[in-house]
Chains A and B, each alone.
Chain A
Amino acid sequence: MATVDLKDVKKVYAGRVEAVKGVSIAIPDKQLCVLVGPSGCGKSTLLRMIAGLETISAGTISIDGKVVNEIGPTERDIAMVFQNYALYPHMKVYDNMAYGLRNRGTPRDEIDKRVRATAKTLELDHLLDRRPRELSGGQRQRVAMGRAIVRYPKVFLFDEPLSNLDAKLRGQMRVEIRNLQRSLGVTSVYVTHDQLEAMTLADILVVMNAGLVEQVGAPLDIYEKPASTFVASFIGAPPMNLLALADGAARSTATPPAGAVTLGFRPEDADAAHDSETPLGALVLPVVVEAVEPVGAESFLHCSAGSDRIIVRVAGRAMAKPGDRLQVVAPAEKLHWFDQAGKRV
């Protein structure tokens, strides 16, 4: 059983800079938790605190029920995959993977068994005698993962492991990591700034901003019910359209709930309509098409409604052209309302 519990964790640098302002997360055993957020939101700092690479200014971190604040990374029984892989350049792939086991005094044949088995799973068995500089980016990434897996640790930590790979490889590795984690059943914490990675990998998604947690939950829950304008515009691509109600540009046949100041709807939840049939409570917005982005399976219409810019997604090829006037319709149940503080109403 390896749960990871963060209780009100804070990190303060040099007496002044608060990188993490009080974060509490409970990660159950065997789950993959993704920390996502823009640069500087504190997700990497949090990960490093879980690893023991940074000291904890306040709060507690517990692994498997035991508080580990004072325990160094050497004794925490965790494994980490770094963004730049951090492979030992002077050792062969085999030794890179065996290093951790050797340090713990594992007997030689056990080491050999585990290293070879892991290498086989990751398709590295023909590379065991090479040095890291002779490997491609994707291969190095696999070795970094192999090094982590071979130790059977309590927790896996990933620090943006896919950032240095090209887009196609990233897509492949995403699936591999997901499958690997599922089959090994090891509790994992994964940091990324890419919301697509976050959505596809997470069992539990944690959206962070400026040192605080904005929302915790299953990815699709967060997608369907973002708790704040920040989460709403961070998760989902293209981002949710947010309109200020006071502007008068948004017109809806339903009354906004009390306290609502901002209205949001996703590009994929709206449709461009040429006729004026509107369902009850829906948002109807007259817009002018500024640009059309055909992506193949879908098209994105960039439109303006007064001083607001909105994006609408249509399937397949778009009929509209720049300059066209349209009515954009978004059904009532797909509307998101946010209050003055940006929180969901």
Chain B
Amino acid sequence: MTPRVVFPNKILPYALVAPQLAITLVFFYWPAGQALYQSMLKEDPFGLKSKFVWFDNFRRVLSEPAYLNSIKVTVVFSVATAAVAMSVALLLAVMAERVMRGKGFYRTLMIWPYAVAPAIAGMLFLFMFNPSIGSLAIVLHKIGIAWDPLLNGTDAMVLVIVAAAWKQISYNFLFFVAGLQAIPKTLIEAAAIDGAGETKRFWTIVFPLLAPTTFFLLVINTVYALFDTFGIIHAVTGGGPGRSTETLVYKVYNDGFVNLMLGYSAAQSVILMIIVISLTAIQFRYVEKKVHYG
């Protein structure tokens, strides 16, 4: 529904779009194109010459055990983070809607983690759970859990999942609260009159009507877990111990910047691009079909 009324200027619009277009071309399309091109090059061992090898890099990437490992790590990490972050946020949002007083107070206090850099969140959690000086680690030891994220791969994974989920809770919370408030009060009243108690009302009316929000957050949380969590991984575990927390994006960084396997890393970037585009496409398709209730 564009306003049918426009200004007649013919040159001005180009001038207005120019800055963004310029930046986009130079810092987005050109590098993206480069990444595509680079993914099909292979450097010789001395890094002096490169050869055009078509999809050879891709073949090597997809057959490398470490890459398959990072796919597994990423999937586990994303699913766990999204699940924890979303369910905790949903629970808190429902409770926040339920109380009569103090909604604003609770909401303000829930927002903090959004402002914290993921990397810092990771470091703080590591600090709390560090086997030698972390207070919470001491608590775990006292209970009898042999907690050591520096040596145990599973412990490390748990730590980054907790840190990543913690940070996402506020974002999800805000969206869930908005989604809950969008449900007309009369629907809840009608359900109550129809004999549904609080719990039943939640599962039969509220939760289904939250579906668009839930789906949206699922995609957002997944993209978050795929990319924004680089900081957490890098700051806390460095992908270790023993690659147990090496996610796809971390591997791109590691192979490209640390190990300087440029073509190889570029191929991984391209694969990541394809994954993200598919996810975004799914989201937009779903949003197009988005059900408008009532």
Direct contact of A and B (CB under 8 A): yes
Report A's interface with B, CB cutoff 8 A. 51-53, 72-74, 76, 78-80, 82, 84, 86-90, 99-100, 103-104, 132-133, 147, 151
A–B complex contacts, Cβ < 8 Å, 21 sampled: A51-B189, A73-B189, A74-B193, A74-B195, A76-B193, A82-B186, A82-B189, A82-B190, A84-B186, A87-B190, A87-B294, A88-B187, A88-B190, A89-B187, A90-B208, A99-B196, A100-B193, A103-B200, A132-B293, A133-B291, A147-B190
Q: Which residues of A contact B184 (CB under 8 A)?
A: 84, 86
Complex: how many Å from CA A311 to CA B194?
48
Q: Which residues of A contact B193 (CB under 8 A)?
A: 51-53, 73-74, 76, 78-80, 100
Complex: how many Å from CA A253 to CA B53?
115
Cβ–Cβ contact A103 & B196, under 8 A: yes
Q: Beyond A89-B187, A90-B291: 5 further Cβ-contacts under 8 Å?
A: A52-B193, A78-B193, A90-B293, A100-B193, A133-B293
Cβ–Cβ contact B294 & A74, under 8 A: no
Cβ–Cβ contact A104 & B205, under 8 A: no
Per-residue A-contact encoding for B170-197, CB less than 8 Å = 1, 0 else: 0000000000000010110111111111
Cβ–Cβ contact A133 & B195, under 8 A: no
Q: Which of B190, B197, B200 contacts A86 (CB 8 A)?
A: B190
Q: Which of B195, B208, B292 contacts A100 (CB 8 A)?
A: B195
List B272-294 residues whose CB lies under 8 Å from chain A: 291-294
Known contacts A86-B186, A89-B209; is-contact A103 B293 (Cβ 8 Å): no
Q: Which residues of B contact A51 (CB under 8 A)?
A: 189, 193
Q: Which residues of B contact A132 (CB under 8 A)?
A: 293-294
Q: From DSSP, what is the main secondary structure of chain B's interface residues?
A: helix
Cβ–Cβ contact A80 & B190, under 8 A: yes
Q: How many residues of B contact A (CB 8 A)?
A: 22
Complex: how many Å from CA A82 to CA B190?
8
Cβ–Cβ contact A90 & B197, under 8 A: no
Please give me the residue from chain B that is nearest to A98 by CB atom.
Answer: B194
Complex: how many Å from CA A79 to CA B208?
23
Q: Which residues of A contact B200 (CB under 8 A)?
A: 103
Cβ–Cβ contact A86 & B293, under 8 A: no
Q: Which residues of B contact A86 (CB under 8 A)?
A: 184, 186-187, 189-190
Complex: how many Å from CA A84 to CA B194?
16
Q: Which residues of B contact A80 (CB under 8 A)?
A: 189-190, 193
Q: Which of B186, B200, B211 has the most CB of A within 10 A?
A: B186
What is the distance, in angstroms, from A103's C-beta to the closest C-beta of chain B?
A: 4
Q: Which residues of A contact B196 (CB under 8 A)?
A: 74, 99, 103
Q: Which residues of A contact B190 (CB under 8 A)?
A: 80, 82, 86-88, 147
Q: Which residues of B contact A52 (CB under 8 A)?
A: 192-193
Known contacts A99-B191, A133-B292; is-contact A74 B186 (Cβ 8 Å): no
List B190-219 residues whose CB lies under 8 Å from chain A: 190-197, 200, 204-205, 208-209, 211
Q: Which of A53, A73, A74 has the most CB of B within 10 A?
A: A74
Q: Which of B186, B192, B293, B294 contacts A72 (CB 8 A)?
A: B192
Closest 3 pairs (CB-CB, A-B): A89-B293, A100-B194, A103-B195
Cβ–Cβ contact A133 & B189, under 8 A: no
What is the distance, in angstroms, from A39's C-beta to the closest C-beta of chain B?
A: 18
Complex: how many Å from CA A74 to CA B193?
5
What is the distance, in angstroms, from A202's C-beta to the closest C-beta of chain B?
A: 23
